[in-house]
Structure 1
Amino acid sequence: MGAEYDQHVAVTDLGNGGFAAELDEGWVVGGGVNGGYLLGVVGTALRAASPAKPDPLAVSAYYVSAAVPGPATVSTRVVREGRGSATLAAELRQGEQVRVTALATYGDLAGLPDDVRTTATRPPIPPLEECVPGSAAPEEVRKVARMMARFDMRFDPACVGWTVGAPSRRGELQAWFRLNDEREPDPVALLTVLDVLPPVTMDLGLMGWAPTLELTAHVRGAPAPGWLQVRHVTRNVAGGMFEEDCEVWDSAGRLVAQSRQLAMLPR
């Protein structure tokens, strides 16, 4: 049947750019279904709608209303088909309710020049065996964030003070990450990985679910097999909202995905 993640983001072609999906209850967190998982479902539908250009390069998604587990549909359309990339639009609905609307650029990462030049530095993190597993979270936390059972996450010990009421207040979280079944990362899965850590506001002492308003993702390369290193930071809380910047580094030490999202402060 394939890896659990692939089953959960699977879509069925309905024709005319439409796809059916079943949002799995295992991705619930707080008051709805995780936004990164929803982006994975949308990304899977867009990949099916653009077989010649199967990889997300940039996706900007607006979260219109909280999704719930159960049936959903994703409508897609090609805005422009270019030689090296395609501009696509998508809308995820449940009944009459729009949950996510997105605009994306897709291409073929394998066909892009391999000319990585960056001033970015991979942040230091202790080795896996020295990090704190998400499975060590209190039962009440795992009950609220059921999505934690969908992957293996090992937190940097320097970033877990919030779990015992002693947040660092630096506005930073980071962890090692791997999907269940040791499912290897790919460009579409990176869309989910960009939103799997707890809200970075927890490191500011602000606990609770933080609904995403908008998320823009950039996928910079196809990730190497193995564990991913994921880091979230925030620098500004204003107007009841905060930004959350994410970096994803692969096992080869490459920065393969970045995102910025605007979210509401925890209620």
Structure 2
Amino acid sequence: MSSTTARPFADAHVLDDLGGGRFRAHLDDTWAIGPKAFGGLLMVLMAKSGLARLAADGAPSPDPLAVSADFLRAPDLRPVEIEATPLKIGRTVSSVAVRLFQDEKLMLHSTVTAGVLPDDAPRIDAEPGLAAEPGPDAVDPADAQGGARGLAAACEMRYPPGSLPFLRGETGPPEMAGWVRPRGEDVDVLFALMAGDILPPTVFNLGGTFGWAPTVQLTALLRARPAPGWLRVRSRSHTVSSAQFDEDVVVVDAAGRTVCQARQLALAPLAR
């Protein structure tokens, strides 16, 4: 599958405003994991709907500061409806509850915390861990036989050489790293939010079943608006137990600033 639009990310989060804090979005196979919608895109749709509702109710310059979502069910690749209900509109921080439905069934529940992202340089920030741009030896999924597939067809992705042992039939620590940027547009804060869920599941490197690893709960903190260029993404698991594992993700922009931190609880990969 290859994208049929010049701006796959921007086109994927278009909302139809139905009035009264209700929105409709259309899910297709551009951003999908098999027959299900990609969780990172769902986070973007929830955040954008919540921010639109807050802006309509007079919240001052709302940026996403935190987005927390419970994944109750996995939406199919069909239209969904989203309802946003303000919980508080404040001078500094506002909050809105967002629910996503498909066929009148609740699929996701989210809380979006909004305010104004800082522009000043941070006093403390983590080391990026990766160079600002992928080098000539970086792995490009589009070079694989048949070209880019899945998420790698919807955005540009690169991986450090030797960083994906599972692709070589080997095992390694539950860690992932790579670079990502949208096709046909600059990065923005919503793309940074999605990047917090863009890498393959860390547990792939442990060996065993490779498949869909459904998210149970994901919370993302947005720390700044990203500078133009590649985003650097690193993820790792602290605990893998029974059918559950966690992932901590840090997203750093081309200027070396942390723009998103995400933590999720997910289920061990399910065969599709």
Taking structure 1 as the reference length, what is the TM-score of the superposition? 0.91
Cα displacement (A) at 1:152: 0.8
Give every structure 1 segment of 4 or more consecutive aligned residues whose post-TM-superposition deviation is greater than 2 Å: 1-4, 50-54, 124-128, 136-142
Q: Return 239-248 or 129-138, whichever deviates more.
A: 129-138
The residue number in structure 2 matching 1:265 is 268
The residue number in structure 2 matching 1:11 is 15
From 29, 33, 55, give the equivalent of 2:33.
Answer: 29
1:242 aligns with 2:245: yes
In the alignment, the residues of structure 2 paired with residue 104 and residue 34 of structure 1 have an alpha-carbon distance, to the nearest angstrom, of: 19
* 8 Å Cα contact 2:8-2:183 kept in structure 1: yes
* Identical pairs, percent: 34
Cα displacement (A) at 1:129: 1.7
1:59 aligns with 2:51: no
From 117, 124, 128, give the equivalent of 2:123.
Answer: 117
From 73, 89, 94, give the equivalent of 2:97.
Answer: 89
In the alignment, the residues of structure 1 paired with residue 146 and residue 73 of structure 2 have an alpha-carbon distance, to the nearest angstrom, of: 28
Alignment of 1:163-178 (within 5 A): 163-167=167-171, 169-178=172-181
The residue number in structure 1 matching 2:217 is 214
Cα displacement (A) at 1:210: 0.4
The residue number in structure 2 matching 1:129 is 136
In the alignment, the residues of structure 1 paired with residue 203 and residue 63 of structure 2 have an alpha-carbon distance, to the nearest angstrom, of: 31
* 8 Å Cα contact 1:31-1:209 kept in structure 2: no
* 8 Å Cα contact 1:128-1:154 kept in structure 2: no
* 8 Å Cα contact 2:68-2:218 kept in structure 1: yes
* 8 Å Cα contact 2:142-2:148 kept in structure 1: no
Change (3 A) 1:130 1:201: same
Question: How many correspondences in the alignment?
Answer: 260
Cα displacement (A) at 1:158: 2.9
1:159 aligns with 2:175: no
In the alignment, the residues of structure 2 paired with residue 67 and residue 138 of structure 1 have an alpha-carbon distance, to the nearest angstrom, of: 30
- Report the 3-state secondary structure (helix = DSSP H, G, I; strand = E; otherwise coil) of the residue aligned with 2:136: helix
- Report the 3-state secondary structure (helix = DSSP H, G, I; strand = E; otherwise coil) of the residue aligned with 2:211: coil
Alignment of 1:173-188 (within 5 A): 173-181=176-184, 183-188=185-190
* 8 Å Cα contact 2:23-2:83 kept in structure 1: yes
In the alignment, the residues of structure 1 paired with residue 119 and residue 142 of structure 2 have an alpha-carbon distance, to the nearest angstrom, of: 40
- Report the 3-state secondary structure (helix = DSSP H, G, I; strand = E; otherwise coil) of the residue aligned with 1:148: helix
Cα displacement (A) at 1:221: 0.4
* 8 Å Cα contact 1:64-1:98 kept in structure 2: yes
List per-residue Cα deviations over 1:58-81 (Å, max 9, x = no partner): 111010111111111110010001
In the alignment, the residues of structure 1 paired with residue 207 and residue 64 of structure 2 have an alpha-carbon distance, to the nearest angstrom, of: 34
Change (3 A) 1:178 1:96: same
* 8 Å Cα contact 1:178-1:228 kept in structure 2: yes
In the alignment, the residues of structure 1 paired with residue 247 and residue 213 of structure 2 have an alpha-carbon distance, to the nearest angstrom, of: 11
In the alignment, the residues of structure 1 paired with residue 215 and residue 147 of structure 2 have an alpha-carbon distance, to the nearest angstrom, of: 23
- Report the 3-state secondary structure (helix = DSSP H, G, I; strand = E; otherwise coil) of the residue aligned with 1:26: coil
**Which structure carries more helix by proportion?**
1
From 230, 235, 238, give the equivalent of 1:232.
Answer: 235
Change (3 A) 1:215 1:42: same
Cα displacement (A) at 1:12: 1.2
* 8 Å Cα contact 1:211-1:264 kept in structure 2: yes
Cα displacement (A) at 1:44: 1.6
* 8 Å Cα contact 1:31-1:66 kept in structure 2: no
In the alignment, the residues of structure 1 paired with residue 249 and residue 84 of structure 2 have an alpha-carbon distance, to the nearest angstrom, of: 26
Cα displacement (A) at 1:47: 2.1
- Give RMSD over aligned pairs: 2.0
Taking structure 2 as the reference length, what is the TM-score of the superposition? 0.90
Structure 2, unpaired ranges of 5+: none
Cα displacement (A) at 1:160: 1.7
